[in-house]
Structure 1
Amino acid sequence: MNILWVMAHPDSRSLTAHLAAEGRRTLLAAGHDVEVSDLYAMGWNPVVDAADYAHDPAERLHVAAAAKKAHAAGALSADIRAEQDKLDRADALIVQFPMWWFQMPAILKGWFDRVFVQGYAYGLSGPDGRPLGYGEGFLSGRPALVVVNAGGPARFYGARGIHGDLDELLFPLQHGTLFHSGAKVLPPLLVPGADRYTPEDAESAAKELRERLLTLWTTEPIPFRPQYGGDYDVDRVLRPDVVPGRTGLGVHRA
C-alpha cells in the first residue's frame, strides 16, 4: 500500500519529526511505500491567490469557481498538482501536526485550502448524479489518521476537560474535510504533554503510533453518519426521530 504522510512542524528535531520518522520506518518495514509532505521543509506556500489558477488578476476572484475551472483545464499551479498526484497515489493518509491555539498550524490549513479544491476534492457527483460528500468522495474507502501533539495533559482534552473534547476540536478536520471527502476517519492519536516529553515518553508515544499504523486497515473508523444513510432529510438536517432532543457535534456520530 502507498501512504501519504502530511506533517507540519518547523523544527526537524521536534517530537513531531521524530514520530514521523518512526512511523515511516514502521510502514516501510511492513512493506508499504510512504510519501512524505513535510510542509515546512518544502517551503509550502499556504496562501490562496489568483496565481494558483492562472486567473486574470484584473478580474474578481471567485475562488471555488476559479479552482474548479483551473483543475478541469489542467491549469492549477505545479505545487498544487504535485500534492494532488500524491493523494491520487495514496491508499491511506496520515495528517500530523502540533495543536496551536486549538487548531492545526496555518501552513497545514493552507495545504488543505490550496489542494482540496472544488472539482477535485468536493463538488463531485456520483454516477446517478447525486452530490457526493460525507462518506462518499474522492477519498472513499481510504483510512485517514490524525496524529496531534498537544501541550497539556490528556485529561484536558477529555469529554469534561477544560480544553474541550479532542473529537470536537478536530471535528472541522475529521468530519468537515476528511469524512466529507469520503475517507474512513480513524480515531485520532493524541500525544499529550509534548513540550515536557522525556526520551522515555517519546518511545512510549512511538510504540503507540507503531501499533496504530499497523492496524490502519483493521481499526474501526469513527462512526460518522453518512449523508445518504437515511439519518438526514432532503435538506441534510437530522430527522426529528434521530437522537431526538439532542444537538451539538456529537449528534453526527451514530
Structure 2
Amino acid sequence: MNVLFVYAHPEPSSFTGALKDAGAAALRRAGHHVEISDLYAEKFDPVAGRHDFTSAADPERFHYQTEQALAHETNGFAPDLMREQRRFLNADLVVWLYPIWWGGMPAILKGWFDRVLAFGFAYADGRRFDSGFFPDKRGLLCLSTGGTQRRFSKGDAYGDIETVLWPAQRLMISYLGMQALQPFVAYAAPRVDADGRAAYLQQWCARLLQAAEQMTEAEAPPN
C-alpha cells in the first residue's frame, strides 16, 4: 500500500517529527511504501498566486479557480504543485501530521491544501463529498497539542476536539470524497514525560498499521 505523509513542523526533533519518523518506520517494516512531503524542509510556498501556473486564462484579472481549472486541463501547474499532486494521486492513505496552532493547522499546511488540491484536480462542480473524486482514498490526521485532553473536551476551554477538527475532517478530507478516519491526537505533548511520549508513539504506530491492514483487507479480491 502507498502512504503519503504530509508533515508540517519546522523543527525535526519535535514530537510531531517523532510521530512522523516512528510511523513511517513502522509502515515500511510492514512492507508498505511511504513517501513524505516535508513542507518546511522542502521550503513549500503556502502563498497562492500566478506563480502557481505556467500559463494564464486571464492575464488581466486573477481568478484562482479559473486558473486552476485551465492548469488542470493543460498540465499547466508549477513544478512544486505537480510534484505534490503526483504524490497525492499515488497514495492510498494520506496522513497529515501537524501541531494545532491557534485552533487549526500551521499556515504552511493550509497553503498546501489551497495550492495543491486545486479546482479540476481535486474537486469540481458536482464532485464533492459522496460524489468526490477520491472515494478509494482514506485520510488521517495526526496531531500534537499543547493543551490537555480535558481542555479539548466539551464544556472546557477549547471545546471538544471533534468541533476543533471539523473544518479539516469534513470540509477538507470528506469534501474530496475521501474516507476521513478518526484522528490521532497526542495531547499535551510538551508536558508528558518520556514514558508518556513512548506510549503515544506506540499507540500511533499501532493505529497506522491497523488502518493499513484494514485498507489492504478491503482491497483484497474475494476468495
For normalisation by structure 1, the TM-score amounts to: 0.80
Q: Which runs of 5+ in 1 are unaligned?
A: 125-130, 221-254
Shift of 1:189: 0.8
Aligned pair partner of 1:213 in 199, 208, 216? 208
* Number of residue-to-residue matches in the alignment: 214
Which residue in the other structure is 1:132 paired with? 127
- State whether structure 2 residue 156 is matched by structure 1 residue 164: no
Distance in 1 (CA, whole Å) between partners of 2:21 and 2:41 is 14
Q: Any conservation in 2 of the 1:143–1:216 contact (CA below 8 Å)?
A: no
The 5-angstrom pairing of residues 1-254 of structure 1 reads 1-56=1-56, 58-123=59-124, 131-217=126-212
Closer/same/farther in 2, CA of residues 218 and 2 from structure 1, 3 Å limit: closer
3-state SS of paired residue (2:131): coil
Measure the CA separation in 2 of the matches of 1:168 and 1:139. Answer: 24
- Structure 2 vs 1, CA of residues 16 and 58 (structure 1 numbering), >3 Å: closer, same or farther? same
Q: Secondary structure at the match of 1:25?
A: helix
Cα distance in 2, alignment partners of residues 43 and 218 from structure 1: 33
Deviation string for 1:151-178 (max 9, x for gaps)?
A: 0110111222220111111111110011
Which one-letter code corresponds to 1:198 in the other structure?
D
Contact 2:99 2:144 in 1 (8 A): yes
CA distance in 2 between counterparts of 1:219 and 1:18 reads 24
In 2: Cα distance, 1:213 partner to 1:120 partner: 27
SS of the aligned residue for 1:156 comes to coil
Q: Which has the larger radius of gyration?
A: 1
**8 Å CA contact retained: 1:136, 1:180:** no
CA distance in 1, matches of 2:160, 2:75: 41
CA deviation vs aligned residue, 1:104-133 (integer Å, no higher than 9, x gap): 000000000000100011105xxxxxx121
Higher RCO structure (Cα 8 Å, ≥6 apart): 2
Query: 1:55·1:61 contact (CA, 8 Å) conserved in 2?
Result: no
> CA distance change for structure 1 residues 217 and 135 in 2, over 3 Å: closer, same or farther?
farther
Bigger Cα displacement from structure 2, 54-63 vs 3-12: 54-63
RMSD: 1.7
Higher helix share: 2
Measured against aligned partners, the alpha-carbon deviations of 1:27-71 in whole angstroms (never above 9, x if no partner) come to 001110000001001100000001212355951100011111111
Deviations 1:71-104 (A, max 9, x none): 1110100000100000111010101100000010
Which residue is equivalent to 1:238? none
The residue type equivalent to 1:25 in the other structure is: A
* d(CA) in 2 for partners of 1:213, 1:135: 24
Using the size of structure 2 for normalisation, the TM-score is: 0.91
Instruction: Determine if contact 1:94/1:145 at 8 Å carries over to the other structure.
Output: yes
Q: What is the CA–CA distance in structure 1 between the aligned matches of 2:191 and 2:71, rounded to whole Å?
A: 46
In structure 2, the gaps of 5 or more residues are: 216-223
Q: Is the partner of 1:135 in helix, strand or coil?
A: helix
Find the aligned partners of 2:106 and 2:2 in 1 and give their Cα distance. 25
User: Separation in 1 of the partners of 2:181 and 2:114?
Assistant: 22
In structure 1, how many angstroms separate the alpha carbons of the residues matched to 2:55 and 2:160? 41
C-alpha displacement of 1:202: 1.4
Q: 2:119 & 2:198 partners in 1: Cα distance?
A: 40
